[in-house]
Amino acid sequence: MKSFFEGIQWLFDNIILALHEVLRHLELSNWWLANLVSWTFIIIGSYYSWYWIKQLQSHKDNNEENQDTTAHSFLK
């Protein structure tokens, strides 16, 4: 049973979390390059949040949104 958990530890340490180790070592040498990954995710998330809000507004402007409180059966 001990070897099973050691296998899981090896999987996470050497395979799944290897990118985190690379970023940790990269941060010590170049902070800007290491944080480029974070800024990329922030920019992507901001774009898709803007797109989602734009789509919600277009549905609201076309009166396609059902805002009736009885739209769901559990609210009756």
Tokens of 10: 């090896």
Residue 44 has pLDDT above 90, yes or no: yes
pLDDT of 58: 92
Residue 26 has pLDDT above 80, yes or no: yes
Any idea where the domains of the chain sit in the sequence? Answer: 2-63
pLDDT of 7: 94
> How far is Cα 14 from Cα 7, in angstroms, rounded to an integer?
10
